[in-house]
Chains A and B, each alone.
Chain A
């Protein structure tokens, strides 16, 4: 791979001379971005309205989990049956997409080191 002194940030259409090597490098890079984030973040559950309060409301959750997994965990902790209504929000403001990862939500919305997840039995800020 040429990294000579006259290599400049040319428009990409001009570069990629050795495309075979190029693709492999790119695929290797993609693999590193695919690695699951094994770190854990602290999620704080807060009840809203008539929802039951949890005695233990701070949990460490693996960052690569999807928000859907957080919802399922919460349902289990509350002893909710399938079909029981449960609405979840971040920062009393919005319901994230269920396929958002905890990691992404934490990076964007953490407050004082916690990702605050509000839960309610009725639609609140939906």
Chain B
């Protein structure tokens, strides 16, 4: 009995067709709350453990249970880990979306599906593999209450058979996922995976071309989400006060951090915490606490997303004007308003650059990977204290909440830099200080911390007009002098924010500018443009704002420069327009994607070609 259910009139390539190895994407369509996260993570890990570069992207609803969710796993022997729009291998578990999911597939894709859905009737140009999940789960999971959760593991076994994923690796991934304490759950799930594998082995004749094969491209690497990487960075940066208010997609950043701090930041002698974490009543309070702590000398941070940023606006202005260090992790999501809370966007770039009323400017760091989440978190704490100002670390839901393959993080060798803080002895030597005086020419004054035991140490911090000595003033000259110094300080930051990554292509007429997670799509797009169209493109990825002088150089070198934005209004481009000369602005073009999913290379390539008129 053949299980290849294709229409005889339009046969797709059968078992004799070509093979596509380690270059495919799997999409699993399920209902959230059904325990599919475990099955998906195990599938992704199994590929990773076989040495194949892999990425996983969870597209989930803002809901706890019952709504559609999709998990995409991309395996790429070339190491591309950005999202790929085209799905090669669909696992259709959700009756609500199955029809649309199948109709969207390109010809030749494979579909594993729950047999009663009868998806094979929809199209004749796909490879269908029907699986009777309910029948298979009953014998391996006698407890009917658990079946819903174990059922998904069956597709891991089926997919493992169809893609030649090694079952030993599936088992290893399962054990890792459940840990030693949940050995029973791991056993139960392993039984389900095996049942799926055995069913597929005795039932299916493989007809699709996709196949996994052991490589050696992931040795030593780790799998981590960006939020956990930021959390680790914060811990190794020596964060001492963490204040937060839960908001998707940033909550898991602080939750990871709490987990790490509890394990690794208690004094071994006293057992006491060398940190404080406060879940605040709202974001007004979380940023206020972070600034209060930063003022008093702590390394303080908060983490939030767009709606929280809006609420923090007033306090960020105070932090700017009163010059108080704090690190704000902004895990961007789709706005405006509540927007799409579980979808990704680079939606806060413009807002954060000038957050709050009056003339304000704020530095931003743009990590694109877990490695940079870790290293830039550490840099951000040093930077905030060095420049005595709030710093935004701009990640997004894609980076923050998805699992990424990453190189192990190097231990921070540079000692912690606490910036310009005067002690009582310093004050004896200097005979006093003026809090907001630009002594060193970098616009940054010296501060003292509350508790400094010296009659000349105190000063009065305020968000109202103040002179060099931190005294109240409404004088025109005092105000202008202070604001000019703050502007000068911002200019001084250009050389100190993380520098850009520049890739100049020889003879390239066009160039790309991007930040953060646009990186994966842009790099892959550069390869696509070369391979498919013979177009060479240079690429500069900024990792910090204010932009370094590389911006002008890069634009001058090219005829046309495409600024890639994951938002509707070309926010990154708009920020560049604010400081560029008209001749350079004239060279800028915009590529924008704002659908809420991680940016993919094909979108960038197609839009570039369209604008290039090719």
A and B are interacting partners: no
Interfacial residues, chain A to chain B (CB-CB below 8 A): none
* Interface set of B (CB-CB < 8 Å, partner A): none
